[in-house]
C-alpha cells in the first residue's frame, strides 16, 4: 500500500501537472471504484484544480465550487500519467490524463466526490502528522490506548500515512520490538520512537523524490532494496548482520532484526511456532 513517502511523491508529480488545470472528463471503467453518488461525478467535469493535499494515505484534488475528489489506492492501486494501460478510471485534464490502475482481482481502491470541507473532514481518519506533531502530542497519541507499538503506528486514527512497510523501518531504526506495548514504553523510548518516525519518513520521502525527479512515479512498491528489514526475511540486517526475521499474520508480515530489536529473542509466529512447538528457535543464536 502506498504510504506517506509514496503519496508525497505522487502529490509532487501531480502538482506539476494538474494544479490549475481543468478536469475535462471523468471516465469510469469500473463502476465499483466510485463510492459516492451525491454529488454526481459529472459535477467534477469542467472544474479547475484549485489545489492538492494528502489526507492520511489518500490523495485529495480540490476543485472549483468546493468539490473534492478523493483517491484511496489501498494495497494494489497505482496512478499512471498519460498511460496506455487500461485502468479503473481515467481523469482527463487539459494537460494530460491520469489513470488509476489496480493489480489483482480484488477491487479495494476507491474514488469519492464530496462537496464542502465538512464532508471532506468526515472522511479523515484523524491520525496526526508526525512532522508537525511535537513530542508531547506524539506521546499522547501513542499512549491513548494499550496496543503493540506496531499496531499503534499503523492505526490511521492515531498516526497519518504510516503502514506496514515503513513501520518496520521505523521500529528497526528505533531498535524497538514490534510487540512492545505502548503503555510500558519509557519516556526515553517514546522520544526515540518519535525521532525515528520523523527521520525514517523524511529519509524515504527525500530518496523517492531524488529517484523520481521531474518524472512521474512508476515504481511505487512496499519492497525496496535499500530497506533495512521490510521484505528482507532471511537477509542480513545492515546494522548487525543477523538474518532478518518475520511474523506472518493474515495478508501481512512484520519484519524485524532479533539482535537489534528484541535482545536476540525470536518472536513467535502463530502458524510456524505452533507447528514446530519445542523445535521453535527461541534466540537468534540458535539459527547461527
State pLDDT tens for residues 114-137: 999 999 999 999 999 999 999 999
Question: Which pLDDT belongs to residue 270?
Answer: 54
pLDDT tens for residues 3-31? 999 999 999 999 999 999 999 999 999 98
Contacts of 47-52 with CB under 8 Å at 24 or more apart are 47/22, 47/23, 48/20, 48/21, 48/22, 48/23, 49/18, 49/19, 49/20, 49/21, 49/22, 49/23, 49/93, 51/19, 52/11, 52/14, 52/15, 52/18, 52/19
Q: So where are the chain's domains?
A: 4-121, 135-287
Q: What is the mean pLDDT of residues 256-277?
A: 75
Please indicate whether the domains covering 4-121 and 135-287 agree at the CATH topology level: no
Annotate 120-177 with DSSP letters as a single string: HHTT---PBPTTT--HHHHHHHHTSS--BHHHHHT-TTTBSS--HHHHHHHHHHHT--
- How far is CA 28 from its chain centroid? 25
**Cα 43 off chain centre by:** 30
Question: Residue 27 CA to chain centroid, in angstroms?
Answer: 26
pLDDT in tens, 131-155: 999 999 999 999 999 999 999 999 9
Report the pLDDT value the prediction gives residue 249, as an integer from 0 to 100: 79
In this prediction, what percent of the chain has a pLDDT beyond 70?
A: 93
The pTM of this model reads 0.92
Does the domain at residues 4-121 carry the CATH identifier 3.40.462.10? no
Phi and psi torsions of 54, nearest 5°: -105, 140
Backbone angles phi, psi at 187, to 5 degrees: -60, -35
Cell of 273: 511456532
Taking domain 135-287, whether its CATH number is 3.40.225.10 is answered by: no
Contact at 8 Å (CB) between 162 and 149?
no
Question: Residue 164 and residue 249: Cα distance in Å, rounded?
Answer: 12
In total, the chain counts a number of residues equal to 288
Query: What's the gap between Cα 265 and its chain centre?
Result: 28
- The pLDDT tens digits of the residues spanning 217-247 come to 998 999 999 999 999 999 999 999 999 999 9
Amino acid at each position: 500500500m502506498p504510504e506517506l513517502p509514496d503519496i508525497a511523491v505522487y502529490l509532487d508529480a501531480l502538482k506539476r501537472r494538474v494544479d490549475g488545470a481543468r478536469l475535462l472528463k471523468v471516465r469510469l471503467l469500473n463502476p465499483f471504484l466510485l463510492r459516492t453518488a451525491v454529488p454526481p461525478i459529472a459535477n467534477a467535469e469542467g472544474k479547475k484544480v484549485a489545489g492538492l493535499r494528502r489526507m492520511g494515505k489518500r490523495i485529495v484534488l480540490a476543485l472549483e465550487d468546493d468539490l473534492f475528489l478523493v483517491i484511496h489506492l489501498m494495497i494494489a492501486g497505482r496512478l499512471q500519467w498519460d498511460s496506455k494501460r487500461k485502468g479503473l478510471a481515467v481523469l482527463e485534464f487539459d494537460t494530460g490524463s491520469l489513470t488509476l490502475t489496480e493489480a489483482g482481482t480484488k477491487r479495494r481502491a476507491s474514488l469519492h466526490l464530496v462537496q464542502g470541507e465538512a464532508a471532506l473532514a468526515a472522511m479523515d481518519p484523524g491520525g496526526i502528522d508526525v512532522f508537525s506533531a511535537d513530542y508531547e502530542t506524539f506521546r499522547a497519541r501513542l499512549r491513548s490506548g494499550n496496543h503493540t507499538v506496531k499496531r499503534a503506528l499503523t492505526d490511521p486514527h492515531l498516526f497519518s500515512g504510516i503502514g506496514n512497510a515503513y513501520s518496520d523501518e521505523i521500529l528497526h531504526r528505533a531498535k524497538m520490538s514490534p510487540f512492545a506495548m505502548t503503555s510500558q514504553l519509557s519516556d526515553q523510548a517514546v522520544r526515540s520512537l518519535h525521532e525515528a518516525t520523523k527521520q525514517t519518513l523524511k529519509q524515504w520521502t527525500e530518496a523517492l523524490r531524488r529517484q523520481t525527479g521531474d518524472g512521474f512515479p512508476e515504481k511505487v512498491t512496499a519492497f525496496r532494496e535499500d530497506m533495512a528489514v521490510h521484505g528482507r526475511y532471511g537477509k542480513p540486517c545492515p546494522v548487525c548482520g543477523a538474518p532478518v526475521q518475520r511474523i506472518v499474520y493474515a495478508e501481512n508480515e512484520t519484519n524485524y532484526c532479533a539482535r537489534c530489536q528484541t535482545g536476540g529473542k525470536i518472536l513467535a509466529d502463530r502458524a510456524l511456532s505452533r507447528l514446530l512447538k519445542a523445535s521453535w528457535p527461541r534466540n537468534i543464536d540458535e539459527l547461527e
